[in-house]
Chains A and B, each alone.
Chain A
Amino acid sequence: MAVYLDNNATTALDERVLEAMLPYMGQVTGNPSSVHRFGRLQKDAIEQARESVAQLVGSRAEQVIFTSGGTESNNLLINGFFQKNRDNRIAVSAIEHMSLLEPAQNLGRMVDIIQADENGHINRSALQQVVDERTSLVSVMTANNETGVIQDLSPLVDLAAENNCFFHTDATQAAGKISLDFVGSGIHAMTISAHKLYGPVGVGALIIDKRLPIRKLQFGGSQEKNLRAGTENVPAIVGFGKAAELATAEMQTNARHVHVLRDALEEGLSEFAGVSIFADLVERLPNTVQFGVNGFDGETLLMQLDRKAIAVSSGSACTSGKTEPSHVLKAMKVPDALANSAIRVSFGKNNTMSDVDALLAALHDIIEMNQQSAVMMAATV
Chain B
Amino acid sequence: MTEQTTKPIYLDYSATTPIDERVVTEMLKYMGPESSFGNPASRSHSFGWTAEAAVETARKHIADLVGANPKEIIFTSGATESNNLAIKGVAHFNKKRGKHIVTCKTEHKAVLDSCRQLEREGYEVTYLDPMENGLVDLKVLEDALRDDTILVSIMHVNNEIGVIQDIDAIGKICRARKIVFHVDAAQSPGKVEINLEELPVDLMSFSAHKIYGPKGIGALYVQRKPRVRLEAQMHGGGHERGMRSGTLATHQIVGMGEAFRIAKEEMAAENERLLKLRNKLYDGVKDMEEVYINGDIDHRIAGNINISFNYVEGESLLMALNKLAISSGSACTSASLEPSYVLRALGRNDELAHSSIRFTMGRYTTEEEIDRTIEYVRKAVEKLRELSPLWDMYKDGIDLDSIEWAAH
Contact = CB atoms under 8 A, between A and B. Distances in A.
B160 interface: no
Contacts of A29: 10, 16-19
B44 A36 contact: no
Interface residues of A, number: 80
Interface string B303-337: 00000000000000010001011110001111100
Contact of B21 (A15, A26, A31, A306): A26
A233 B37 contact: no
Contacts of A88: none
B12 A201 contact: no
Interface string B232-265: 0111110100000111111110000000000000
B370 interface: no
B8 A35 contact: no
Interface of B: 8, 10, 12, 15-19, 21, 24, 27-28, 31-35, 37-39, 41-48, 77-81, 83-84, 108-114, 116-117, 209, 214-217, 233-237, 239, 245-252, 318, 322, 324-327, 331-335
Given A25-B27, A220-B111, A231 B236 contact: no
A368 B348 CA distance: 80
A10 B236 contact: no
Pick the most buried of A97, A98, A221: most chain B CB atoms within 10 A of its CB.
A221
Contact of A201 (B19, B252, B322): B252
Contacts of A14: 32-33
Contact of B215 (A99, A193, A235): A235
Pick the most buried of B18, B35, B246, B335: most chain A CB atoms within 10 A of its CB.
B246
A335 interface: no
A115 B15 CA distance: 48
A309 B44 CA distance: 11
A208 interface: no
A219 B113 contact: yes
Contacts of B78: 68, 230-231, 233
A210 B186 CA distance: 33
Given A33-B334, A220-B112, A71 B41 contact: no
B114 A220 contact: yes
Given A39-B331, A74-B236, A201-B247, A9 B42 contact: yes
Given A74-B236, A102-B236, A31 B33 contact: no
Given A34-B327, A34-B334, A229-B110, A302 B77 contact: no
A230 B77 contact: yes
5 contacts: A14-B33, A34-B327, A71-B236, A219-B116, A302-B45
**7 closest A-B pairs by CB:** A233-B216, A220-B110, A99-B236, A202-B249, A311-B45, A318-B237, A68-B77
B239 A318 contact: yes
Contact of B31 (A70, A200, A234): A200
Contacts of B19: 25-26, 29
A15 B38 contact: no
B215 A221 contact: no
B26 to A, nearest CB: 11
Given A38-B8, A99-B245, A303 B109 contact: no
Given A38-B12, A220-B109, A101 B33 contact: no
B77 A10 contact: no
Given A30-B325, A37-B8, A37-B325, A217 B15 contact: no
B77 A33 contact: no
Contact of A221 (B47, B80, B217, B247): B80
A165 B252 CA distance: 38
B38 A236 contact: no
Contacts of B32: 12-15, 18
A10 B81 contact: no
A201 B235 contact: no
Given A75-B233, A221-B332, A306-B44, 12 more contacts: A9-B42, A10-B39, A34-B325, A36-B318, A36-B327, A38-B12, A217-B84, A220-B83, A221-B109, A309-B46, A318-B239, A320-B41
Nearest to A350: B33
Interface in A2-47: 2, 4, 6, 9-15, 18, 21-22, 25-27, 29-31, 33-39
Contacts of A231: 16, 78, 80, 209, 215, 331-332
A186 to B, nearest CB: 26
A164 to B, nearest CB: 27
B112 A75 contact: no
Given A10-B39, A34-B331, A218 B237 contact: no
Contacts of A106: 235
Nearest to A203: B216
Contacts of A230: 77-81, 110
Contacts of A203: 216
Contact of A71 (B37, B216, B245): B245
A36 B211 CA distance: 20
A219 B110 contact: yes
Contacts of A220: 80, 83-84, 108-114, 332
A10 B40 CA distance: 10
A100 interface: yes
A33 B47 CA distance: 36
Contacts of B252: 201-202, 233, 236
Nearest to B327: A34
Contacts of B332: 33, 220-221, 223, 231
Interface in A71-123: 71-72, 74-75, 97-103, 106
Contacts of B44: 6, 299, 302-303, 305-306, 311-314, 320
Nearest to A219: B113
A153 B360 CA distance: 52
Nearest to A22: B24
A232 interface: yes
A13 B33 CA distance: 6
A319 interface: yes
A101 B237 CA distance: 10
Contacts of A9: 38-39, 41-42, 48
Contact of A68 (B28, B246, B331): B246
Nearest to B234: A75
A232 B215 CA distance: 7
Given A37-B8, A71-B247, A6 B47 contact: yes
Nearest to B235: A102
B15 A202 contact: no
A13 B46 contact: no
A128 to B, nearest CB: 27
Nearest to B233: A217
Interface in A188-241: 193, 195, 200-203, 217-221, 223, 229-236
B254 to A, nearest CB: 11
Contacts of B42: 6, 9-10, 311, 313, 317, 320
Nearest to B117: A219
Nearest to B209: A231
A231 B45 CA distance: 34
A306 B45 contact: yes
